Amino acid sequence: MGLKRVVITGLGALTPIGNTKEEFHEALFKGVSGAGLITHFDASQHKTKFACELKQFDPANHFERKEARKLDPYCQYALVTADEAIRDSGLDLSQIDLDRVGVIVSSGIGGITTLEEELISFATGDGTPRFNPFFVPKMISDIASGQISIKYGFRGPNYGTVAACASSSVSIINAFDHIRLGRANIMVAGGAEAPLTPSAVGGFNSLHAISTRNDDPATASRPFDADRDGFVMAEGAGTLILEEYEHALKRGARIYCELIGGGLAADAYHLTAPDPEGKGAALVMRYGLEDAGILPESVDYINVHGTSTPLGDLSEPLGIISLFKEHAYKLSISSTKSMHGHLLGAAGALEAIATIFALTDNRIPPTINHFNLDPKIDDKLDFTFVKAKQRTVNVAISNTFGFGGHNASIVFKKI
């Protein structure tokens, strides 16, 4: 029996530049920056005082108060986007086999808000180990998948993947495999992250990984710019509904695009730095294209990892040139992190949605905050700086790389 075809039939997004997929779509092509001063906690003593926070998100609009107290913010975000994606897909849950619906929703950090609150409470108490009974299930990074399956009765494959910033891309690829191998008809896949806490921001500061451009937060995420100084942390979630093609056709589903390949590879180089020659980036994209059964010359657009870090932004273009050769100068590239920031473990899911919008719209989202291209980066590459642009997009790639050298590449095709 051959492999099943897999299509995308639903999307949900909760982002620093829009609280629904429609708002995200609109802001993405307008080139809106989601960065601003941190309001979640007093960041005055931190080296970095800004981030890409959600705007006007109120859990009370989505959860009963008692229910919300049992959910870490990252899990709330996952549930909100899963609900939007399921509604967007038009699925009638009473008419499908729930034994054949799975969930893989990932997080790089998980419930760090809950972890901080509980440990601070313990450390400032009288030494008696009193902890909230929901401490552990709120904190663990696989619980979003569990909560989604419980809410909707999905009894198929259910787990979370942890691969640092590549976590949700890995979840999408794993979900893709479950369907094409015939293990499920539908998979809810994506990622969620709520990392804007004192310890997380402080930890990334100590790594010198995030920008300290406190005088101008809105332009701090500037991928490929000569003056970039690190990524901008962000929160939010993205969820996709993956569905077996014939199953989608039978129920008359609206199909966004087809998922045709996924690649996973390692840099095997350094704990936090990418391979300086882009070997890992080239390898994971090659694996993705081989899995899809297409040539590099077929690709029209790459949503690059493009974090705005000094080393990362040098290596990925080298990997693209290494793999695509002369075609590298014919395809379009952009880093949407310049707008919504870096959602860590949820980055891959959100950027997969941005990549799908490029396919459906025949439009390339921009890389904003461009002032001076780093002279070490090939200026003949098309980074789609400043403004979105129209072009035919039949095949697109979404790249996501994580600490530890975890690399993931997803290939989408217009259907």
Q: Catalytic residue at 305? A: yes
**Cα 33 to Cα 56, 230, 281, 382, 394, distances in angstroms:** 16, 16, 27, 21, 27
Q: Which residue is catalytic, options 46, 178, 342, 370?
A: 342
Answer for the pair 77, 19: CB distance below 8 angstroms, yes or no. no
Q: How far apart are CA 26 and CA 39, in angstroms?
A: 25
Q: Catalytic residue at 165? A: yes
Q: How far apart are CA 304 and CA 334, in angstroms?
A: 6
Residues counted in the chain: 415
Q: How far apart are CA 184 and CA 244, in angstroms?
A: 8
Q: Which helix (H) or strand (E) holds 158?
A: strand 158-159
DSSP class per residue in 267-317? --S-SSSPPTT-HHHHHHHHHHHHHHT--GGG--EEE------TTHHHHHH
Q: How far apart are CA 320 and CA 302, in angstroms?
A: 9
Closest CA to 219 of 71, 341, 350, 62: 341
Within 201-277, strands assigned E span 236-244, 257-266
Q: Which residue is catalytic, options 247, 305, 340, 370?
A: 305
Q: Which residue is catalytic, options 25, 46, 52, 165?
A: 165
Q: Catalytic residue at 342? A: yes
362 CB-contact burial (10 Å; exposed 0-12 / middle 13-18 / buried 19+): middle
Q: How far apart are CA 415 and CA 359, in angstroms?
A: 10
Q: Which two tokens stand for residue 375?
A: 């002279």
Q: What angle do CA 123, 126, 127 make, to 5 degrees?
A: 60
Q: Which helix (H) or strand (E) holds 189?
A: strand 186-193
Q: Which two tokens stand for residue 361?
A: 């719209």
Q: What angle do CA 88, 94, 96 make, to 5 degrees?
A: 80
Which residues are tagged catalytic? Answer: 165, 305, 342
